[in-house]
């Protein structure tokens, strides 16, 4: 999987910081950023970014990810421009933002204010809707924004006024390729064995085949526990560690490709 680095150098250099809220590096979510895995990754979530999500109708979703280390703080603010239609919308008609930590714990940003804020660089009036700050878990957080009507929001992440890196890449998908398609009976163990790297990591667990590639860097028990499963039947390793636990089971279900052929 090739990842292209989007250099925001030019924009970054134009936005010289004056106060913390003014210099967030802009990132615009695309219509194809419909899930965290497909959306951009803010490599260091402590660098200040302003992520813009605009929607044309209720039900649309856009998402992105941000990386944190233990000891970092997750600082997020939700803003709208102080203009129509957003500033006329009730809270219940504004997009919701769900933050999911690497452990899977998630929460919805609560809209609790409409505080005016003038952003001098773009000469734009904003309204703060919500501010959130908490100690970070190490790993990748996902941020999912869901529209309730036609509206746009800005999610400001991070506080450090340095230029940050944004990765965009072909999202790892379970789309079958000619060498990796499921037979009617399911995926073969040979196919699993062929995907035995951290770049393409499949594992069979309890008779099902999973693509764990994107889970490697998010696993609370360390990347090594997952990379050691790549290309193998990981059933016993998984059961030994996580038998009967709901969080690992629900995580795992998100990476399902299909049944292992008998």
**Which of 40, 251, 257, 261 touches ligand HEM (CB under 6 A)?**
251
**Which of 212, 216, 230, 261 touches ligand HEM (CB under 6 A)?**
212
Q: Which is nearer to ligand HEM, 43 or 237 (CB)?
A: 237
Phi, psi of 258 (to 5 degrees): 160, 180
Residue 186 CB, nearest approach to ligand HEM (Å): 18
Q: Is 194 in the site for ligand HEM (CB under 6 A)?
A: no
Q: Is 183 in the site for ligand HEM (CB under 6 A)?
A: no
**Which of 172, 225, 227, 258 touches ligand HEM (CB under 6 A)?**
225
**What are the Cα distances from residue 91, in Å, to 1, 97, 146, 197?**
40, 12, 13, 45
Rg of the chain (C-alpha set): 20
Nearby residues of 243 by Cβ (< 8 Å), 6 or more positions away: none
For residues 22 and 122, what is the distance between their CA atoms, to the nearest angstrom? 9
Q: Is 238 in the site for ligand HEM (CB under 6 A)?
A: yes
Q: Which stretch binds ligand HEM (CB under 6 A): 8-16, 35-43, 164-172, 242-250?
A: 242-250
| Residues of this chain, 93-122, that bind ligand HEM according to CB under 6 A | 103-104
Q: Is 242 in the site for ligand HEM (CB under 6 A)?
A: yes
Burial environment of residue 262 by CB neighbours within 10 A (0 to 12, 13 to 18, 19 or more): exposed
Number of amino acids touching ligand HEM (CB under 6 A)? 17
Sheet with 166-169, edge to edge strand ranges: 3-6, 166-169, 41-42, 61-68, 139-146, 96-100, 106-108
Residue 236 CB, nearest approach to ligand HEM (Å): 9
209 with 192: CB under 8 angstroms? Answer: yes
Q: Which is nearer to ligand HEM, 104 or 186 (CB)?
A: 104
**Residue tagged 């402590």 (tokens):** 46
Q: Is 248 in the site for ligand HEM (CB under 6 A)?
A: yes
257: tokens are 């490709």
Q: Is 138 in the site for ligand HEM (CB under 6 A)?
A: no
Q: Which is nearer to ligand HEM, 163 or 242 (CB)?
A: 242
Strand partners, 208: 205, 259
> Which residues of this chain interact with ligand HEM, rule CB under 6 A?
103-104, 212, 219-221, 225-226, 229, 237-238, 241-242, 247-248, 251-252
């Amino acid at each position: 999987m090739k990842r292209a680095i989007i250099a925001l150098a030019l924009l970054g250099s134009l936005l010289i910081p004056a106060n913390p809220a003014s210099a967030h590096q802009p990132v615009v979510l695309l219509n194809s950023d419909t899930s965290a895995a497909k959306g951009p990754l803010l490599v260091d979530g402590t660098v200040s970014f302003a992520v813009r999500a605009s929607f044309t109708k209720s039900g649309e979703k856009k998402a992105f990810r941000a990386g944190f280390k233990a000891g970092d703080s997750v600082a997020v603010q939700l803003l709208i421009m102080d203009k129509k239609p957003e500033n006329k919308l009730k809270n219940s008609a504004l997009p919701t933002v769900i933050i999911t930590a690497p452990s899977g714990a998630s929460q919805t940003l609560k809209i609790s204010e409409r505080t005016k804020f003038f952003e001098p660089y773009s000469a734009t009036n904003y309204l703060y809707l919500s501010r959130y700050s908490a100690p970070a878990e190490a790993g990748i957080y996902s941020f999912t924004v869901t529209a309730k009507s036609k509206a746009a929001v800005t999610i400001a992440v991070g506080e450090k006024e340095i230029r940050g890196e944004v990765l965009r890449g072909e999202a790892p998908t379970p789309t079958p390729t000619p060498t990796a398609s499921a037979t009617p009976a399911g995926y073969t163990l040979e196919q699993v064995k062929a995907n035995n790297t951290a770049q393409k990591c499949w594992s069979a667990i309890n008779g099902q085949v999973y693509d764990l590639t994107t889970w490697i860097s998010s696993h609370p028990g360390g990347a090594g526990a997952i990379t050691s499963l790549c290309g193998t039947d990981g059933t016993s390793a998984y059961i030994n560690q996580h038998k009967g636990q709901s969080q690992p089971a629900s995580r795992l279900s998100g990476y399902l490709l299909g049944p292992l052929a008998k």
